[in-house]
Amino acid sequence: MPELLDGKTAVVTGASSGNGRAIARTFAEHGADIVVADVREDPRLRGPPTHEVIPEETDASASFVNCDVTSNDDLRAAITEADEYGGIDVMVNNAGIFADTEDFFGVSEDEYRTMMDINAKGPFFGSQFAAEKMSESGGGNIINLSSINGDVGTESNVAYCASKGAVRVMTYALADALGPDIRVNAIHPGMIETAQIVKDYDHLEADEEEDRLATIPLGRQGRPEEIAKAALFLASDLASYVTAASLVVDGGVVNTR
């Protein structure tokens, strides 16, 4: 199979762990050089740093930039790092935080601000800075990680839903603002086996876990590699006529609730 991203350079925020790590490795397998932009080098669960694994497993190059997505200076530095590989072609705004059990009446202003700063402000300015570079070089594409909670609201995580809903609609507006040379799409993961999910659900009893999985038509959690494959499609020319789209990767949950 031809390398779908041969000669491309991607910046992936939150790429040290979880979905971002899988996206970075999958992109590298298909020819892209990678800038890993994260607040930590080591993965949350296990294994060597993403930027060290990529040149060992693939012919691609990779580097790490310490990047807090709430800092515009950090975002600019991560995107500028892509110049080492010829300039940014793909921006993946993946970094985010999750709150599954939130008391709406107990959410403080600081907690809300943190949620929005990481989950919505980060993708906004990550897209802005990436698009500035892409416009200079003739185009590219942006992929924002939203969530099924950007489509369906739940009482247990109102602030999180607000942040991911913002990402969804922002993606549509960006696609309109940046076309035709820059494509912008969103991925809406469901329950994926990442460190965040493991941490938030490791307290469940066996029967509670079974009930949770019963809400998923495919009967299991997704894997980060399955989110990565969706991102690969959107980043490649296979999706050359796809923009302003929300690709739901959730095992069927949203449309069968």
Residues 6+ apart with CB under 8 A from 97: 114, 115, 118, 119, 196
Catalytic: 201? no
Average pLDDT over all residues of the chain:
93
pLDDT of residue 210: 78
Residues of the chain with pLDDT > 90, as a percent, come to 84
Q: Is the pLDDT of residue 164 over 90?
A: yes
pLDDT of residue 202: 55
pLDDT of residue 137: 95
pLDDT of residue 139: 98
Tell me, yes or no, whether 206 lies in a domain. Answer: yes
Span 89-128, pLDDT tens digits: 999 999 999 976 678 999 999 999 999 999 999 999 999 9
Residues of the chain with pLDDT > 70, as a percent, come to 93
Instruction: Return the HEC string of 180-218.
Output: CCEEEEEEEECCECCHHHHHHHCCCCHHHHHHHHHCCCC
Tell me, yes or no, whether 4 lies in a domain. Answer: no
CA distance 12 to 227: 13
Kindly give the pairing relationship between strand 62-66 and strand 246-249: unpaired
Q: Is the pLDDT of residue 205 over 60?
A: no
Tell me, yes or no, whether 138 lies in a domain. Answer: yes
Tell me, yes or no, whether 24 lies in a domain. Answer: yes
Q: Is the pLDDT of residue 211 over 90?
A: no
Q: Is the pLDDT of residue 198 over 90?
A: no
**Tokens coding 124:** 């906004």
**Tokens coding 200:** 């938030």
Tell me, yes or no, whether 2 lies in a domain. Answer: no
CA distance 29 to 4: 9
Tell me, yes or no, whether 233 lies in a domain. Answer: yes
Q: For residues 121-146, give the mean pLDDT.
A: 98
Quick one: which H or E segment has residue 38?
strand 33-38
Total domains, the chain: 1
Q: Is the pLDDT of residue 188 over 90?
A: yes
Q: Is the pLDDT of residue 28 over 90?
A: yes
pLDDT of residue 101: 66
pLDDT of residue 24: 98
**Tokens coding 192:** 């994926």
pLDDT of residue 21: 98
Q: Quote the domain boundaries for residue 15.
A: 9-256
Q: For residues 55-83, give the mean pLDDT.
A: 98
Tell me, yes or no, whether 3 lies in a domain. Answer: no
Tell me, yes or no, whether 18 lies in a domain. Answer: yes
Long-range CB contacts (< 8 A, 24+ apart) of 72-81?
A: 72/125, 72/129, 74/37, 75/13, 75/37, 75/122, 75/125, 75/126, 75/129, 76/129, 78/11, 78/13, 78/35, 78/37, 79/11, 79/35, 79/126, 79/129, 79/130, 79/133, 81/11, 81/35, 81/37
Whether residue 243 contacts residue 175, with contact meaning beta carbons closer than 8 Å, is answered with yes
Catalytic hit among 85, 112, 160, 241: 160
CA distance 29 to 120: 29
pLDDT of residue 154: 85
Q: Is the pLDDT of residue 173 over 80?
A: yes
For residue 25, what is the domain's CATH number?
Answer: 3.40.50.720
